[in-house]
A and B are shown apart, each in its own frame.
Chain A
Amino acid sequence: MASPFTVHEGVAAPLMLDNVDTDQIIPSREMKAVSRDGLSVGLFAGWRYVSAESREPQADFVLNKPAFRDASVLIAGENFGCGSSREHAVWALAEFGIRAIVAKSFGAIFRDNCVRNGILPIGLPSEDVQAIAVQAVSGARVCIDLPDQTMTCGDHQYAFDIDAYAKRLLVGGLDPIGLTQSRSGEISAFLDRDRAARPWIYGS
């Protein structure tokens, strides 16, 4: 599914707001099609455009500034991606090209959704997030080494935690369903044995 995440180097865009919710990441009016594609134009639509109809870029918005237009990393405040569990928020970010988000904390479901869609959520203390944002504004790129669990920005290196399973999914470019389906041989062998042992579970 998602491409494997090992070492990533790119531009980091600071969006230093707390409690950015999934409705701000992708407003529900932007989720017109019943599909996960084509959502990136609606990413942060409420902030990115002067009006939803004209799509005229709002010049002040960070992702519209020439320096950050090609950002692949977002730097955010606390509780990023809180609110409703809509996965569209992550699909929109992924399609836009975001590979990692650095924040003090994340909405729990949003964080899981990131991992399922190849986006690395990095939680760091707020001083570190601030320091990285300052560096990013002055033009420093970030380099993230997921196998090593480190992130470098300017002359600073930051170590981050990530649970082993999330790391495995991201490094392998795997989604959880695909990962389990890779064991389908074992699953069907189990089902064959179990169907004989407990036929009442399987009905007729």
Chain B
Amino acid sequence: MAQTIFDKLWQAHRIADAGDGADLIAIDRVMLHERTGGVALKSLAEAGQPVLAPERAFAIMDHIVSFRAGRGRDESRSPGGETFITQTRAMAKAAGIHLIDTDDARQGIVHVVAPELGLAVPGASIVCPDSHTCSLGALGALAWGIGSSEAEHALATGALRVTKPIQKRVCFNGHLGTGVTAKDAALHLISLHGSGGGARAAIEFAGSAVEAMDIEARLTLCNLAVEFAAFTAVIAPDDKVFAYLQGRPYAPDNELWSRAEASWRALHTDDDAAFDDEIEIDAGDIAPTVSWGTSPEEAVPVTGHVPSDARPAALSYMGLSAGAKLDQLPIDGVFIGSCTNGRLSDLRAAGDVLRGRQVAEGVRAICVPGSQSVLRAAEAEGLDKVFRQAGFEWGSPGCAMCFYAGGETFPPGARVVSSTNRNFEGRQGPGVRTHLASPATVAASAVAGRIADARMFAPMDAVS
């Protein structure tokens, strides 16, 4: 029978029927982070449960580590957060799992690091107690976010009980316009079909615009699937994925590579395979998109207006009135980073706007690279100087201002343009008004002091 890529991934990991409509699914990799990882490991230890496969479990410090440049080893951005760091470290060592500590050269946001290290490969099942684990579907992995108790379950048993989700395919046909990114494509999709549009579904992203994306852009696209309420997302792996992975530390080496690649090449949706639903989007219709409200579906083109039928609660939290023109809204802050848009290509796109320009007065601008590897690569090509000279703070890798964890943030009422994934009330701090956008839009807005269309900010070397 014709199968989708998701059917193939599911079948390859299905151990048995788990009853009540669920399957027992084998878990290849468990990723933990310090916010819940230490607690999960401790609770297992107390219950006398060893980790079944410690060699396939990884703890990474990212969520609440300080993003201050030159931070200390245990320094947290969250009051009292040091304990989570030290406890996760101690428990990871005791359990014998891999530990990527705060001062490790591989440290960074778990979903940024997993591809970098080749931990996420096509056909691997990967879980992590963080909802944006779905990012890793960009490499053809079966990856989804779980709760903390499920993390314990996966660590102890090597398997999880999961009900197979429904399946949808979203095709972006044609080409994305100049200055239009995967972030815009995702926000556009969610604004058209609602933040519940992908509810409980495994979504395959396909179409010529997706094929044309590089791996980092695909990671951004899949990252936002959970904001579409999806179970996860996946993209059929292709030569770009294989080229990206070759030589990465945990990717198969010489001898196994060709076997692995051969099996990965079978991971695509068969011609006649059926989906529960299919969505077709003309990529040429997508504009740089910015959210105006407190749900990711409340987004419009950067040149657009707050809709006339906007939800009053969203308007009131965001301090907006219906009909307001987005690109005239003055802003107080910007943030570039996160697992959505904290990779090198994101920093380059923002850097192209910022090079030779200055952040507007009164705007606090922060960039936190998604990983140490991104930070090193950015510094090697002088991007840190571009950001700093423009007036940005340049932080140490981690989730940083993607979510509020107590501690320092923008002041209440601040209007912030952010390359992150969630614009819920309070996500970046009490009363902070988050507008989601691509890194280029964020950079252009920082320079303009208002929400701005990056297409009006051609690179300075091209201008002169």
Contact = CB atoms under 8 A, between A and B. Distances in A.
A binds B: yes
Interface of A: 34-36, 85, 87, 109, 112-113, 116, 163-165, 168, 176-177, 179-181, 183-184, 186-187, 190-191, 194, 197-203
Contact of B24 (A35, A186, A201): A186
Interface string B336-365: 000000000000000000000000000000
A200 B121 contact: yes
7 contacts: A164-B19, A165-B19, A177-B49, A180-B18, A180-B156, A187-B15, A187-B26
A112 B46 contact: no
Given A87-B43, A198-B263, A203-B55, A187 B158 contact: yes
Contacts of B152: 177
Given A34-B46, A190-B15, A180 B24 contact: yes
Interface string B16-42: 101111101010100000000000001
Contacts of A191: 26, 158
A174 to B, nearest CB: 11
B157 A186 contact: no
A203 B153 contact: no
B449 interface: no
A176 B153 contact: yes
B157 A187 contact: yes
A183 B24 contact: yes
A116 B252 contact: no
Contacts of B244: none
Contact of B124 (A165, A199, A201): A201
B147 interface: yes
Contacts of A202: 55-56
Contacts of B256: 199-200
Q: Which of A87, A164, A183, A201 has the most CB of B within 10 A?
A: A201
B250 interface: yes
A203 to B, nearest CB: 6
> Which 7 A-B residue pairings sit nearest by Cβ, starting from the closest?
A200-B252, A164-B20, A180-B157, A190-B15, A165-B20, A200-B256, A200-B260
A161 to B, nearest CB: 14
B46 A36 contact: yes
A183 B43 contact: no
B20 A168 contact: yes
A165 B22 contact: yes
B161 A180 contact: yes
A29 B26 CA distance: 39
A109 B55 CA distance: 29
A176 B161 contact: yes
Query: Is chain B's binding surface mostly helix, strand, loop or mixed?
Result: mixed
Contacts of B123: 198
B389 interface: no
Nearest to B152: A177
A183 B156 contact: no
Q: Which of A35, A116, A168, A190 has the most CB of B within 10 A?
A: A190
B208 interface: no
Contacts of A190: 15, 26
Given A177-B156, A200-B260, 20 more contacts: A34-B42, A35-B46, A85-B147, A112-B147, A164-B20, A165-B20, A168-B20, A176-B153, A180-B153, A180-B160, A180-B161, A181-B156, A184-B157, A187-B158, A187-B159, A190-B15, A194-B26, A200-B251, A200-B252, A200-B256
B455 to A, nearest CB: 43
Contacts of B15: 183, 186-187, 190
A23 to B, nearest CB: 15
B11 interface: no
Contacts of A177: 47, 49, 152-153, 156-157
B3 interface: no
Q: Which of B49, B149, B259 has the most CB of A within 10 A?
A: B149
A186 B161 contact: no
A163 B338 CA distance: 37
Contacts of A194: 26
A85 B156 contact: no
B269 interface: no
A35 B153 CA distance: 19
A198 B161 CA distance: 22
A34 B44 CA distance: 12
Contacts of B147: 85, 109, 112
Contacts of B246: none
B49 A187 contact: no
Nearest to B253: A200
Contacts of B26: 187, 190-191, 194
A201 B123 CA distance: 9
Nearest to B44: A177
A11 B20 CA distance: 32
